[in-house]
Structure 1
Amino acid sequence: MGESWVEPLVSMALSAVGTVASGALSGAGGEMGRRTSERLCGLLSRARTEDGGAGTGSGDGEQQPTLPVTESEQLAATLRLMEVARRYPEFARDLAEWVREASWLAPRALPAVAHGASRPQMLPPATAVFTDREDVIEWITALLDDADPIPGAPTIAALTGPGGIGKTAVAVRCAYALRERFPDGVLFVDLAGASSGAALPPSDVLARFLERLGVPPAKVPGDEARQRDLYRDCMADRRMMVVLDNAHADAQVIPLLPASPGCLVLVTSRQRLGRLVAEHGAHPRILRPLSTADSVLLLRRVAGSERAAAPDAVVQAVARAAGGVPLALCTTGAGLAVREHLPWERVARQLSERIHGQGGDAVPSGSIDDPSGSADPVRHAQDVSYGELTPECAAFYRALAVWAWPTVTVMCAAQAADVKEDQARVLLEQLARVHLLEEVGEERYRFHDLARAHARELAMAEDGHGRMSAGVRRVAVAHLRCAAEADFRVMPLRWRLGAAYRGLVLPEDRDPADGKHALAELRRERENLAAVIRAADHHGFDDLVWQLCEAMWGLHLLLGFHAQWIDTHLLGVEAARRCAAEFGDRRAVGRMLVQLAFGYMGAGRADDAEEALAQAVGADEACGHHRGQASAVEALGLLHLKRWRYAEAQQCFEEAREILGRIRERDDGWEDLPRATALLEHHIGRAQTKQRHFEAALTRLNDALVRFRTLPDGRDAYNEGRVYMSLGELHLEAGDADLARVSLDKAVKAMETAGAGLQLADVFESRARCHRVSDRPAQAAEDLRTAAVHYEENGDRTGAERIRAELAEPEA
């Protein structure tokens, strides 16, 4: 094979090594991803042999390669593979085949022109009372018309100004006015940038955007760099608008910029985004207050035509008092709209008293934009609206502001204010009518951050820390209860510690799709749950912090969101440690560390994961929690297995099995013991297979099979199928394709019984390999066609495409 054939493989091989290594740690790609990783291990081992035993991949002189995790390790591994490929044609062919197979694991962008391509329309509703700002639309239109497209550079418009000046309303109005120019869709996100603590991390936003662009959640990379690369792939050659509202800083925005000249990016922020302008060519524009004439027009629109006409001079006085700030004008107008007997003159007088510090009920206040509070029209308008609330509604308003919840649900509001949900619904609607809350979805509301700051300041003055803290605890307890119930429905077989899981049972007539519905419920509340964890941590409710983290296990394990996973679980670890020092559940420390470790794995941080698991082992050993210690040692073994450290993995699994043997009746984990032991036997057999200890592995796998068949609560068809799949791999690696096929025949029946569609597809794909080895091309093709059908039926479009491409190869 000539040099010209090999050279194009270099960049493709480097990309494939990175994709496979990342997927091996996170579990992305399922069984196909695992096999592709193990094939890479085999290629690197062959490269070492061909090179006369020199070290590979890890760069540390080990005789066996380890998974190349860092960029430098991946580059070294790729260069070693290419060096050997240049000298050995057969190795080059095998490498090219592996690269082709691995390329299917990379998350694939769906072009806008493709059939079924996603064209998201994520804009929130525009306000019906929008006034003025037509000059901003004209300005952005001129930017688009006059722009000389630069490859890789979108048009960026940055709207800045103080809180309440109407930046969001302007951006949304402009987006609706211009969206016909962007046929591939509109992405929108509120970056929650009023403070650095509340601001959304780019990784969370990228994950959300990628899903709306057609990337399945399971295919979204765990680390921000790969998310950003995939996002730009998805946006390439598209004509889309991206609205990034309420940015805190340049660093929050820059990773979200597409690299397509056909895109428009609208950014709003209270801050001047200097890097965005200097380095990315953003066009800045500062929004100013409305003129008095436009302020009067907006006031009259919001107040409504049903009100009796008022003298122009009085309305102008109200408009001037609102300072031309749209939020103040809307708040004032909404109060007039819902109180038809409230005279304009009274509102003008109240605002004047606030401005000039008159009236015994004036509330000293400041704002983010004017700390002195002496000329804050938004605060003055809010003070007036608050003064018109009933005592019950005023207390409710204050209670909602105990924390910066991303959205306020009926449940959250009821718990925060300690009222019934029916009452909370009525009060939420009252606050929305006077513009102190905004309805953003069905029974879902949001504060403008200035309104929340106003309500929180009142709460601190009138209710005190004790009542506010009690409200946070009620909200946290309610969210924990709901999250634990949903998590239990998602993964009912997992052992748990938290008291919130006690007594939970599944109904006998459970809907087969109930787990998916529960996962969707958790996903809808994901950002609120993270906020609840931070609020509980801030108020010192350590017992709730770690239990909330435990209740988000199914959500994070199945859907990712690794930045949030790691951030919340770091809080969970520290909360569990404080609990352990204060007579709390000492077992929680190990539990939190294990869950944190899996978050690190998903983000590609293997060393951090290993350190967390080592700490978990020590924590569980120190408190004598055998079930937790075994689980932590098992997880460490699984990490070693993913990193190709097969002997270390086997040692961990055997140690975990020995620890399980210390559990006695009535000890924690006793009921889970038979299934846990069966899983470990399976793990040991897999590790032995990878070390080519086939006879010992066969014994272990057969033992695991018997154990799964004889579980006290009934046989586990799914895990029986998994063991049969491992037996198939063992026999195939040992060179006996016929015995492999017999095992895979049984795996087919087991997965059909378990209803595991994706795993069934993988079994048929594995059996096709047996047929090819045995020179049965017709049977291999038939199994591949069946596998493609199962992938398609179970939502894995990429898997189906990969199989069909493989079927088409002999004809090419």
Structure 2
Amino acid sequence: MRNDISGTVHGPTVQAERIGSVSFQQAPAPFLVPGAPVPRALPSPPRHFTDRRCELDELEALLAQDDDAPKVVVLCGSGGIGKSATVLHWATGLARRYDGGQLHVDLRGESTATALSPSVVLVRFLHALGMDPRWVPADEGAQAERFRTLTAGRRLLTVLDNAHSVPQVLPLLSAAPGSLTLITSRRRLPKLLREKGAHHIELGPLEPPDAELLLTRIAHGRDAAGVRAVAERCAGHPLALCMAGERVAVRPHLSWQRLESDMAQHQEPAAEHGPADPVPGIADASYADLSPEAARLYRLAGLRPWPSVTVAAAAKLTDVPEPRAAELLEELADIHLLQETAPGRYRFHDLIRAHAEQRALHEEGPARSAAAVRRLLLHHLDTAVAADACVIPGRWHLGPAYPRITAAPPAYASPAEALDRLAAERENLAEAVRTAAEYGHDDLTWQLCEALWGLYLRMGFHQEWKATHRLGVEAAGRTPQTPEAAGRMHAQLGFAHLGLSEFAEAEEEFRAAAAADSACGHTRGESTARESLGLLRLRQGRYEEAENSFALAREAAGQVGDARALALLDHHIGRALAGQGRFAEATAQLEAARERLRSLPDPYNEARVLMSLGETALTAGDPAGAERWLADAAQRMAAEDAVVQQAAIAELRAKAAAVPERAKAFLREALALHERTGAPGAAQVRAELDAME
């Protein structure tokens, strides 16, 4: 099926509104990707997991209860105490019991600033459960409903790691009988215990024998006295124990006694309320052993809470070739200063990152630290621009990075490949927007937002979209040297609101975009803003106002000579005229749009216009004329492998059919196409067929 959101899908199930060279789609129920696998998203469990027998027995006793009610377990404890390792060990052992699949997410709940929103996680889960990204709802409430629908018949195991609050996890709980949700958090989440009957388990330090066993398993230690001394320094803290053990494991000549001495030298004195946190001490000791290049990477990578650090990002931070950057990342991972979360991707435990940030501020100073952050922001911008330029070919771009990138050969073989890269870097790019805004890099803030446009339009993440583009609007307003950026940011933020059906907010942003572009003489931007207002009016059924907006947009597009925009606006105007019942004028307008698109050429959008012509004829009471347009559209959409559109055309042709048998044949065709995509329209078409037969 064509992975393209640039078309308008007609018919009862789908409507796609278009701005420029992209579109905005809605669907009343989820489309499932045919053949989507059952999610098996659990990361590998830790190799050297030790103890937690009492907690595991407690979990098994809970699962042994006869009732089939959904179960929620909250495992809480301090940072680095081993919650994630414990829950992954549990989940891996339990996975075979949950044939509906396993979901996993790190909620990044160390702080309010880093915590993922429920909407971001729901979108990720819906994708994992097989929903076509184009049909994921924009509204968080609707996303939660889809999640409950898709999981209702699944015996599902979900791991919500590092939760920040009850509101963050409530929409992510499966209500299916027999399901299990395992949650880790530094907070007790008592409301979850009260409202959902969650079972609470507190995790503390390892007992001395188990702490020593963990060290021995990691480093194969044989000096019992030395192992015991290091274990005592680590105070049973699993993160500190892992760091200490791996330090010995990668340095065969480092004795346990020497390690304990190093830890004693760096460890802070005990606090009044209890023993000192062992993590900073072992982090200092490990840091002292790093090569100069690895130490510098450690410092600079820790300046921001990046969701992941890639090899390319590490190379930019340290100004070394990527093969050397990969070696430095491995050096840090070998002693547990970084964790490898996927091939070529690493992240800090937040306690370790805090240590790295302090080392950077102390050794690099504010100026060099800020310069390193800007280097990495530029890297993320170039990465995003190179992909975004391929996602929606033909759309106009704003910002100095695009001419530089697009002057080179395309970086990706297809829009789908480029979109995959943007999706893989999405969390880093959202953090880059926040970082650029916090560091006062207004030019980079709005440019990063511009580079995220294709990703958000294709895949949603509307709450994140609003958050990033609010920063973009603010930054553009402080960038007088690029006045056209303000209108661009307002328009893009308006579409985030439109996707959430926040029509008043969308209109406010579109009007602000039109005013900003008019004030600075940015005619292309003003055309887009007017077009956006017209699409809003189409959504609202205010067809005369939509026509007026499109006419103003067309006038501006004519001034800049944008042939593609003129053709698409002709199509929009035709739809607005049809909505008013002015069928003859609509037909003439749509035929003009078709001729423009034919001359470009643009066969896909030409087929879209043929669909609009057919629907207009059908509504006007000319089924024979409708069939002529729709037959042509069907042939062209088949050539494009646009299955969703083919199904919509078949439904329209069924309505235009002169005899019942022909109508049933088209409905059977539509049903087969809907079933190929898992579309919800299949149920309606099946009901129509049953009624006819």
TM-score, normalised to structure 2, is: 0.93
Which structure exhibits the higher relative contact order, with contacts defined as CA atoms closer than 8 Å and separated by 6 or more residues?
A: 2
- Residue 781 of structure 1 aligns with an amino acid whose one-letter code is K
The one-character-per-residue Cα deviations of 1:712-765 (angstroms, maximum 9, x if unpaired) are xx3222222222221112211111111112222332344345554432333233
Q: 1:640 aligns with which of 537, 540, 548?
A: 537
Give 1:284 shift.
1.6
Quick one: distance in 2 between partners of 1:149 and 1:509? 54
Are 1:777 and 2:689 matched, yes or no? no
Partner of 1:675, secondary structure, is helix
Which residue matches 1:691? 580
Q: 2:258 aligns with which of 343, 346, 350?
A: 346
Are 1:240 and 2:159 matched, yes or no? no
The one-character-per-residue Cα deviations of 1:294-331 (angstroms, maximum 9, x if unpaired) are 111111111136xxx32x22221111001100000000
- Alignment CA distance shift 1:35-1:754 (3 Å): closer
Which residue matches 2:21? none
Give 1:445 shift.
1.0
- Residue 676 of structure 1 aligns with an amino acid whose one-letter code is A
Quick one: distance in 1 between partners of 2:460 and 2:12? 17
- Alignment CA distance shift 1:555-1:434 (3 Å): same
Quick one: distance in 2 between partners of 1:507 and 1:195? 41
1:372-387 aligned at under 5 Å gives the runs 375-387=276-288
Which residue matches 1:704? 593
Q: 2:52 aligns with which of 125, 129, 133?
A: 133
Checking the alignment, whether the CA contact within 8 Å between 1:28 and 1:218 is kept in structure 2 is no
Give 1:807 shift.
3.6
Checking the alignment, whether the CA contact within 8 Å between 1:29 and 1:219 is kept in structure 2 is no
Quick one: distance in 2 between partners of 1:769 and 1:371? 80
What number of residue pairs does the alignment pair up?
681
Quick one: distance in 1 between partners of 2:425 and 2:571? 36
Quick one: distance in 2 between partners of 1:218 and 1:790? 17
- Residue 651 of structure 2 aligns with an amino acid whose one-letter code is E
Which residue matches 1:428? 329
Checking the alignment, whether the CA contact within 8 Å between 1:596 and 1:609 is kept in structure 2 is yes
Q: 1:407 aligns with which of 299, 308, 312?
A: 308
- Residue 810 of structure 1 aligns with an amino acid whose one-letter code is M
Q: 2:416 aligns with which of 516, 519, 530?
A: 516
Give 1:178 shift.
2.2
- Alignment CA distance shift 1:786-1:508 (3 Å): farther
Checking the alignment, whether the CA contact within 8 Å between 1:439 and 1:445 is kept in structure 2 is yes
Checking the alignment, whether the CA contact within 8 Å between 2:387 and 2:411 is kept in structure 1 is no
Which residue matches 1:388? 289
Which residue matches 2:93? 177
- Alignment CA distance shift 1:500-1:801 (3 Å): farther
Which residue matches 1:557? 457
Partner of 2:478, secondary structure, is helix
Which residue matches 2:214? 298
- Alignment CA distance shift 1:715-1:37 (3 Å): closer
Are 1:448 and 2:352 matched, yes or no? no
Quick one: distance in 2 between partners of 1:658 and 1:621? 13
Give 1:355 shift.
3.0
- Residue 194 of structure 2 aligns with an amino acid whose one-letter code is A
- Alignment CA distance shift 1:280-1:204 (3 Å): same
Give 1:699 shift.
2.5
Are 1:533 and 2:419 matched, yes or no? no
Which residue matches 2:483? 586
Checking the alignment, whether the CA contact within 8 Å between 2:436 and 2:444 is kept in structure 1 is yes
Are 1:477 and 2:378 matched, yes or no? yes
Which residue matches 1:742? 628
1:188-337 aligned at under 5 Å gives the runs 188-304=104-220, 309-310=222-223, 312-337=224-249
Checking the alignment, whether the CA contact within 8 Å between 2:664 and 2:692 is kept in structure 1 is no
Which residue matches 1:612? 509
Partner of 1:704, secondary structure, is helix
Partner of 1:157, secondary structure, is strand
Quick one: distance in 1 between partners of 2:430 and 2:209? 44
The one-character-per-residue Cα deviations of 1:94-136 (angstroms, maximum 9, x if unpaired) are xxxxxxxxx98322799xxxx9675322111111111111111
Question: Higher Cα Rg: structure 1 or 2?
Answer: 1
Checking the alignment, whether the CA contact within 8 Å between 1:678 and 1:704 is kept in structure 2 is yes
- Alignment CA distance shift 1:399-1:579 (3 Å): same
Checking the alignment, whether the CA contact within 8 Å between 1:109 and 1:230 is kept in structure 2 is no
Quick one: distance in 2 between partners of 1:540 and 1:124? 37
- Alignment CA distance shift 1:747-1:182 (3 Å): closer
The one-character-per-residue Cα deviations of 1:263-303 (angstroms, maximum 9, x if unpaired) are 22211111121211222222222111111111111111111
Give 1:29 shift.
9.6
Aligned residues: CA RMSD? 2.7
- Residue 586 of structure 2 aligns with an amino acid whose one-letter code is A
Partner of 1:105, secondary structure, is coil
Partner of 2:228, secondary structure, is helix
Quick one: distance in 2 between partners of 1:706 and 1:37? 22
Quick one: distance in 2 between partners of 1:611 and 1:135? 58
Are 1:768 and 2:654 matched, yes or no? yes
The one-character-per-residue Cα deviations of 1:564-617 (angstroms, maximum 9, x if unpaired) are 11111111111111112xx2x111111111111111111221111111111111
- Alignment CA distance shift 1:333-1:134 (3 Å): same
- Alignment CA distance shift 1:510-1:574 (3 Å): closer
Quick one: distance in 1 between partners of 2:74 and 2:377? 37
- Alignment CA distance shift 1:419-1:564 (3 Å): same
Quick one: distance in 2 between partners of 1:371 and 1:538? 36
The one-character-per-residue Cα deviations of 1:140-194 (angstroms, maximum 9, x if unpaired) are 11112236455xxx22211111111000001111112222332222211110000
Which residue matches 1:716? 602
- Alignment CA distance shift 1:193-1:35 (3 Å): closer
Partner of 1:639, secondary structure, is helix
Give 1:36 shift.
7.9
Quick one: distance in 2 between partners of 1:201 and 1:35? 28
Are 1:31 and 2:10 matched, yes or no? yes
Partner of 1:735, secondary structure, is coil
Give 1:503 shift.
5.1
More divergent stretch after superposition (539-548 vs 750-759) = 750-759
Partner of 2:41, secondary structure, is coil
Checking the alignment, whether the CA contact within 8 Å between 2:491 and 2:510 is kept in structure 1 is yes
- Alignment CA distance shift 1:758-1:240 (3 Å): closer
TM-score, normalised to structure 1, is: 0.79
- Residue 403 of structure 1 aligns with an amino acid whose one-letter code is R
Partner of 1:403, secondary structure, is coil
Q: 1:659 aligns with which of 547, 556, 577?
A: 556
Partner of 2:64, secondary structure, is helix
More divergent stretch after superposition (693-702 vs 641-650) = 693-702
- Residue 123 of structure 1 aligns with an amino acid whose one-letter code is L
Partner of 1:183, secondary structure, is coil
- Residue 222 of structure 1 aligns with an amino acid whose one-letter code is A
Quick one: distance in 1 between partners of 2:176 and 2:340? 34
Checking the alignment, whether the CA contact within 8 Å between 2:11 and 2:649 is kept in structure 1 is no
Quick one: distance in 1 between partners of 2:591 and 2:272? 72
The one-character-per-residue Cα deviations of 1:521-570 (angstroms, maximum 9, x if unpaired) are 11111111111111111111111111111111111111111111111111
Give 1:796 shift.
4.8
Are 1:107 and 2:107 matched, yes or no? no
Checking the alignment, whether the CA contact within 8 Å between 1:646 and 1:687 is kept in structure 2 is yes
- Residue 481 of structure 1 aligns with an amino acid whose one-letter code is D
Checking the alignment, whether the CA contact within 8 Å between 2:240 and 2:282 is kept in structure 1 is yes
Name structure 1 gaps, 5 residues minimum: 1-25, 39-102, 358-365, 664-668
- Alignment CA distance shift 1:147-1:473 (3 Å): farther
Quick one: distance in 1 between partners of 2:31 and 2:631? 32
Checking the alignment, whether the CA contact within 8 Å between 2:8 and 2:16 is kept in structure 1 is no
Quick one: distance in 2 between partners of 1:373 and 1:579? 51
Checking the alignment, whether the CA contact within 8 Å between 2:100 and 2:156 is kept in structure 1 is yes
- Residue 648 of structure 2 aligns with an amino acid whose one-letter code is D
Quick one: distance in 2 between partners of 1:412 and 1:109? 35
Which residue matches 1:87? none
Checking the alignment, whether the CA contact within 8 Å between 2:10 and 2:611 is kept in structure 1 is no
